[in-house]
Amino acid sequence: MAPLITMQKSPERAFALQKYLLLHSQHDALQKHINQVTASIPESPTGYTDRHRNSSVSSDSSTASDASISPLSPPIPNISSRRGSLPPSFGHTQHFHREDRINSLPAVVDESIVEVVEEDEQKLKDVNQQIKTALTDLLNCESVKSDIRYRKWVQTRLMDTERELKERRTRSLYGEFQMSPSDPDSHRVNNTSRIPGNAGYVSVQKLGFEDMEKCTEEKIAPQHKSAWFGFIKSIATFKGDLSTLTAPPFLLSPQSIVEFPTYWAEHPSLFIAPTKSESAEERAVLVLRWFISTLKWQHSNRDENGKKKGMKPLNPFLGECFMGSWEDDGEGTGRTDLVAEQVSHHPPATAYNISNEKHGVQLQGTIAPQSYFSSTVHIERNGYSLLTLSQHDETHLITMPPVHIVGIMSGSLNPELSGTSYIRSSSGFTTRISYSSKGWISGTPNAFSAIIYKDGRESTPIYKAEGQWSGEFNIKDMRSGKRILQFNANSLKRKSLKLRPIDQQKEYESRRAWRHVTRAINENDIFQIGKEKGKIENEQRDLRRKEKAKGIAWERRFFVKRGRDEVAERLAKGLEGLSLESGGGIWKWDKERYRAMESGDTERIRRTDDMKNPLVTRWESGVMVTEVSV
């Protein structure tokens, strides 16, 4: 950790160095993969093995001669000269021209292997180009310019990179790097490479950025870089839920988290489709199709027009609501209504209810995201949803997978799903969904695999789904081996949610409450963003202080808190690693209170309230509280 202590005084240098080290990790992983691929190819008399063996001799002699070159002053370990700065095994030993690599393959070889090698070679070229950019940024840092040892350290590596790009070679930069094509396990990094520091040379330690994403060109505007450096430092050192951190204004999205339940029903026809089937088995398949269809846009970092979304949504205030409806599409879908409410602020939790009365479909649940930093930003989405199909007296328990954010170093954040989520129906069918993100080296982006099985028979699934939740996937009947469903998320058109005009909304409704902040975000007015956002936050703090002073307990508008959920508990029983604990409590939709609130019937609210003799008062803002004796 020694180098980090020194570098904290120069956030620009720390940022550029971290980016450089991350790219180096990508380079090493790619090189390892190429050697593993080529090692799997049968040896031939004139093939890769002989070339490697013969080139080793010349490499050793050239390395020995290079070692005699006088080092720089002051001496910098392992970077005496261009060749001296590289590992002893580098050169003609294994990093040869791409054409030589391809031509060295046996005459009879799977074309897919050639394609893999070509793809990885191109990635190596891209990584080297980005390393050049990162080193150039590092060289332009004032703290590097003023430090002759650091400057020479960077200049040497920059010259190496430029020469390698010209010669179309790859290289390794962490010190001694040894890899044998015939022994993939021999890949190892000797972390003795050193960086000049104030107190001499300090050892480089891996910074722990496990997300091996491709670092693209910097996305942060020059005027925002200082704030971005500070934000990266704060999330990396913060202990606790990251949602409590205040993000720089330029990172904000003009959308509150309380709006996120909208994604559940943007395709009303898919939402109601399960209820039209008389087969419980088929309904399980249709529920899976609907669920996967909801993932693309809620996890995309761009909108339908390809425009980059804001990185950080607005944190809802306690009692913030979002309400709207999807009208009948003319094909018999009926009207689908959405109501979401922020029922807890510490910890944050959003309760929601989505219902289609015509078809007897209801989705209600609570989501309580908890974010933390460990190599990158991770978001655990505690809570669950219950999808009820009243015509079949059937309920489906639904959980959500964890999210981790990649692109921290490039300033281009992108959510990826990982882990496992479940859908279990009261009719005896369970769906287990496993998610995997694309590694920088290989794999399919946004991939998932799901199996549907009868409860207790996980080893003999009846259906299997595979593909991309952001693109195309197929569902196959495992008994017949036939594909029964093909789906492409890109072919779906999202249906807009109908909202009341802003001037007709209540003050506690999300779009109206945040309207000035949203306008400032869209206009990129940083000062106005901070000003308007601060007003809302300060008003909420004042409200909490008044409640505490008067002994007032905040009363939720449309949801009531319950001690337990027996339906969810029964469905969750036996599911591995599943916890229904959300931290924000269990909240259930109160239809009567919703109708009473919408109609302004205060007497009706009193009659439906569980508390004894509450004195309910309505504030001008539409906020409701219950005064209780203390």
What are the pLDDT digits (tens) for 76-109?
Answer: 333 333 333 333 333 333 444 444 544 444 444 4
**Mean local confidence (pLDDT), 506-523:** 94
pLDDT, averaged across the chain:
74
Does position 603 have pLDDT exceeding 90, yes or no?
A: no
pLDDT-wise least confident of 187-196, 334-343, 507-516, 545-554: 187-196
**Mean local confidence (pLDDT), 331-360:** 95
Facing residues of 382 across strands?
Answer: 368
Dist CA 116 CA 95 (whole Å): 16
**Cβ(569)–Cβ(580) below 8 Å:** yes
According to the model, what pLDDT value does residue 15 have? Answer: 72
What are the pLDDT digits (tens) for 107-129?
Answer: 444 566 666 777 777 778 878 88
Residue 26 backbone phi and psi in degrees, to 5: -65, -45
What are the pLDDT digits (tens) for 256-303?
Answer: 999 999 999 999 999 999 999 999 999 999 999 999 999 999 888 777
Q: Is the dihedral of CA 230, 235, 237, 243 positive or negative?
A: positive
Residue range(s) of every CATH 3.30.70 domain in the chain: 512-627
Does position 72 have pLDDT exceeding 70, yes or no?
A: no
Does position 630 have pLDDT exceeding 70, yes or no?
A: no
What are the pLDDT digits (tens) for 5-21?
Answer: 333 456 677 777 877 87
Residue range(s) of every CATH 2.40.160.120 domain in the chain: 243-501
| Structure token digits, residue 587 | 């909240």
Dist CA 453 CA 428 (whole Å): 9
Dist CA 545 CA 318 (whole Å): 13
Query: Which CATH class, in words, describes the domain spanning 512-627?
Result: alpha beta
Does position 602 have pLDDT exceeding 70, yes or no?
A: no
Instruction: Count CB neighbours of 537 within 10 A.
Output: 13
Distance, CA of 192 to chain centre: 33
Instruction: Count CB neighbours of 65 within 10 A.
Output: 10
**Mean local confidence (pLDDT), 566-594:** 88
Dist CA 629 CA 382 (whole Å): 33
Which has more confidence, 394 or 375?
A: 394
Q: Which amino acid is at 620?
A: E
Dist CA 55 CA 93 (whole Å): 5
**Peptide bond preceding 42: is omega within 30 degrees of 0, i.e. cis?**
no
Inter-axis angle of helices 111-139 and 148-167, nearest 10: 150
pLDDT exceeding 70 applies to what percent of the chain? 65
**Cβ(437)–Cβ(418) below 8 Å:** yes
Which has more confidence, 376 or 418?
A: 418
According to the model, what pLDDT value does residue 152 have? Answer: 84
pLDDT-wise least confident of 55-59, 124-128, 373-377, 408-412: 55-59
Does position 381 have pLDDT exceeding 70, yes or no?
A: yes
**Mean local confidence (pLDDT), 240-258:** 74
According to the model, what pLDDT value does residue 29 have? Answer: 75
Does position 345 have pLDDT exceeding 80, yes or no?
A: yes
According to the model, what pLDDT value does residue 93 have? Answer: 36
**Mean local confidence (pLDDT), 330-353:** 94
Dist CA 93 CA 60 (whole Å): 8
Instruction: Tell me which of 2.40.160.120, 2.40.50.700, 1.10.8.60, 3.90.420.10 is the CATH number of domain 243-501.
Output: 2.40.160.120
pLDDT exceeding 90 applies to what percent of the chain? 37
pLDDT band with cut points at 50, 70 and 90 for residue 499: very high
Q: What does R_g of the chain's alpha carbons equal in angstroms?
A: 29
**Mean local confidence (pLDDT), 217-224:** 53
pTM score over 0.75: no
Task: Count CA within 13 A, CB hemisphere, residue 491.
Answer: 5
pLDDT-wise least confident of 69-83, 142-156, 408-422, 484-498: 69-83
